[in-house]
Structure 1
Amino acid sequence: MAAHIRNQSRRGPPERVTEEPIPLRSAPGTVTNVFLTNIVGYWRNVSILWCKNLMNISFTITVDGMEGDLMSQITCKVELKPWHFWSKKGYKSFEIDVQNHDNENIGHQLEVYWDLRSAKFSGSSPEPCSDYYLALVSDEEIVLLAGDYKKKAYKRIKKRPALVDAILSLKKEVVYAKKSFSTRARFAEGKGEHDVVVESSTTGPKDPEMWISIDGIVLIHVKNLQWKFRGNETVMVNKQPIQVFWDVHAWLFCNPGSGYGLFIFKPGAAEAELERDGSSRSGNSDSSAVINPRRACTRAFRSNGIEKQAKESRGIRFKEDQKEDEEDQDKI
């Protein structure tokens, strides 16, 4: 799970920014679920974006093109008006491109069915937490089914289940708050959801700090956040290892409301990755254990466009250490 969190508080002198702050009350929260879905014999990424504002709730389904082609994405958006009860249940169709036996692109119809008339929501999250279904149908098969009303979905839609179920590969949530941010996340299929809370203290005379709690237990406490604004740790949740990555540079060095804090919760231990990296190279295993967590953190942040910043921060640190060594040599 990846969470983008916008902080409204700040510490230190203001710097020049190019993005206008978004008022907290009008900022829309979003939840994006990305599924690996088999459509007409090909695996495609299908994302469901839930959005909520003062007027309505909407969801947008995006289907990637052939072989992950982002240029040929097809989207289907549905807005649920609060005063239109009938709009919370419905049907919509759209077309995507598929290849026939002659490798020619032809149109293929997909159908979307939804029923959110009894849907329940948790807090300010735009994604329903229970009593709903959202289905994607291809060739008379339900290739993707979200929600807990699965039996009702099969009964009402009258389509057969797909031979291969869609796989949830990523969940991303954007949360707006001031000092305390909360959400719910599932770290394993078939398991229950966990309460995730991120709290920060970036103002006042004391050094900035940050706390990350899961199910009411503080698992990560970061002191001197101005020096540790990027990092990663592995924690245990119900005997399951969870890798936690964070980047809160914008909270400390940008104007309030102008930048996100990024948090990634990745199930699984990092030791397996370290062993693979260590077996493919020669050298001291201790040095690999020190370097590889940084590399893992860089890979996790790469898709969010901040790998360059991470490299620059390490480069600056290296130059500072080098300068200190030169000063020590001069003294000698």
Structure 2
Amino acid sequence: MKDFPSCFGENGVQVADSSTSKTAQNLVTCVYQCRVHGRSCLITVTWSKNLMGQGLSVGIDDSSNQCLCKVDVKPWMFSKRRGCKSLEAFSCKIDVFWDLSSAKFGTGPEPLQGFYVGVVVDRQMVLLLGDLRREAFKKSNAMPLHSNAVLVGKKEHVSGKKLYGTKAVFCDNGRVHDLVIECDTASGNDPCLVIRLDSKTVMQVKRLRWKFRGNHTILVDGLAVEVFWDVHNWLFSTASLADAVFMFKTCLSSDRLWATQSLSNANLLQSSFSERFSDTRLQGLGFSLILYAWKNM
């Protein structure tokens, strides 16, 4: 099954599924939509972390999810913490610049500060990540575009025993929200699933053993956000490491898309997102976050 976007296939970075070992779970994949020479494209940035260190991958897809080019920086030694690679797509030159030599990391694979990653097309900066903006423009000798790339999708892996948290922005230039999922399956009682946003409870699912899959709509920043959950493995798996999958999808249209589809298993939730991601974004239908929550038994 293809992951999103298709650029990261067999030879790229794979996002873990339920059979993946614990060491492979520290991955965050972000998808940005931008325009290159008047054509819509998706830029995927994947941050990884394992025993070898930090890794970075950048891929560019066209609007049909066809991979045009990619850069894969494997967990590096110090000499590879900065660099540049030139590629070609859309009949133009594409340069990917990065400098993480002074980057500061938290517990996850994404750097917090002291870094930049830039994608330059014919000397125009179409995507720039990080706080070292001045250094990035100086190194690349690029000019900024009037229209910035927009974050349209994110896939993340988190682990814990009861609490699973991340940060999320659900609309362009929106607030950064603290998102926490709480579920205690260790007790003998039928567990309850609670989702909090900025410490406020926005969703609660009781009798979870009967409602281990489903969907519900919440409001965030005035937007309707559809929440899908599948916690079957948390409740019924005998593995030492079990995962649940959640998706948060903003709905900017009266069309609920595929929200009414039944979620038969976690793979369906993943494939629905990966197969329809490009089309829904091109229709202007918002942002999607997939969160894999791994329970340490």
Settle same-fold status: TM greater than 0.5: yes
Name the residue aligned to 1:120.
Answer: 104
Describe the SS at the equivalent of 1:197: strand
* CA distance in structure 1 between the aligned counterparts of 2:25 and 2:18, rounded to whole angstroms: 16
CA distance in 1, matches of 2:229, 2:220: 18
Correspondent of 1:295 among 255, 260, 263: 260
Unaligned runs of 5+ in 2: 1-16, 274-297
SS of the residue corresponding to residue 263 of structure 1 reads strand
Structure 2 match to 1:93: 86
Match of 1:248 among 223, 226, 231: 231
Question: Which secondary structure state, in structure 1, belongs to the residue aligned with residue 138 of structure 2?
Answer: helix
For residue 271 of structure 2, give the secondary structure of its aligned residue in structure 1: coil
Change (3 A) 1:94 1:146: same
Structure 1 SS opposite 2:171: coil
Q: CA offsets, 1:1-24, max 9 Å, x none?
A: xxxxxxxxxxxxxxxxx975634x
CA drift of 1:296 comes to 6.4
Please give the secondary structure, in 1, of the residue aligned with 2:260: helix
Kept after mapping to 1: 8 A contact 2:55/2:73 = yes
Look up the SS of the partner of 1:117 in the other structure: coil
Which structure features the higher share of strand residues? 2
Map of 2:147 onto structure 1: 164
CA distance in 2, matches of 1:19, 1:233: 24
1:39/1:219 CA distance change after superposition, 3 Å? same
Task: Measure, in 1, the Cα distance between the counterparts of 2:209 and 2:233.
Answer: 11
* Cα distance, 1:306 vs structure 2: 7.0
User: Out of 136, 141, 146, which is 1:153 matched to?
Assistant: 136
SS at match of 1:155: helix
Residue 156 of structure 2 corresponds to 173
Q: 1:45 aligns with which of 23, 42, 60?
A: 42
Q: Which residue of 2 is the match for residue 233 of structure 1?
A: 216
Which structure shows the bigger proportion of residues in helix conformation?
Answer: 1
Give distance in 2, aligned partners of 1:237 and 1:44. 27
The structure number with the bigger radius of gyration is: 1
How many angstroms does 1:50 deviate by?
A: 0.6
| Residue in structure 2 matched with residue 32 of structure 1 by the alignment | 29
Aligned equivalent of 2:64, options 62, 65, 68:
68
Aligned residue for 1:304?
270
Verify the 8 A CA contact 1:20 1:258 in the aligned structure 2. Answer: no
Q: Distance in 2 between matches of 1:32 and 1:159?
A: 25
CA contact (8 A) 1:245 1:297 kept: no
Q: 2:19, 2:33 → 1: CA distance?
A: 35
Letter of the 1:295 counterpart: T
TM-score by length of 1: 0.67
- Give the CA deviation at 1:216: 1.9
Specify the code of the residue in structure 1 equivalent to 2:232. Answer: H
* Aligned twin of 2:276: none
CA distance in 2, matches of 1:232, 1:302: 14
The residue that corresponds to 2:121 in the other structure is: 138
Aligned mates of 1:79, 1:148 — CA distance in 2 = 22
**Distance verdict in 2 for CA 1:229–1:175, change over 3 Å:** same
**Contact 2:168/2:176 (8 A) holds in 1:** yes
**Aligned match of 2:74:** 79
Q: What SS does structure 1 have at the residue aligned with 2:233?
A: helix
* CA distance 1:20–1:242, change in 2 (3 Å): closer
Hey, what's the Cα distance between the residues in 1 that align with 2:249 and 2:158? 18
Aligned equivalent of 2:55, options 53, 58, 69: 58
1:75 CA drift (Å): 2.1
Deviation of 1:185 after TM superposition, in Å, equals 1.0
Residues 296 and 167 (structure 1), Cα distance of their counterparts in 2 relative to 1, 3 Å cut: farther
Specify the alignment match of 2:21 in structure 1.
Answer: 22
Matches within 5 A, 1:219-230: 219-230=202-213
CA distance in 2, matches of 1:143, 1:306: 28
- Assess if the C-alpha contact under 8 Å between 2:52 and 2:75 holds in 1: no
Let me know the Cα RMSD of the aligned residues: 3.2
> Which structure exhibits the higher relative contact order, with contacts defined as CA atoms closer than 8 Å and separated by 6 or more residues?
1
Secondary structure of 1:64's aligned partner: strand
**Where does residue 203 of structure 1 map in the other structure?**
186
Distance 1:251-1:230 versus aligned 2 partners, 3 A rule: same
Q: What residue in structure 1 maps to residue 174 of structure 2? A: 191
Give the gaps of 5 or more residues in structure 1.
1-17, 99-105, 278-291, 308-332
Alignment partner, residue 11 of structure 1: none
- Helix, strand or coil: the match of 2:270? coil
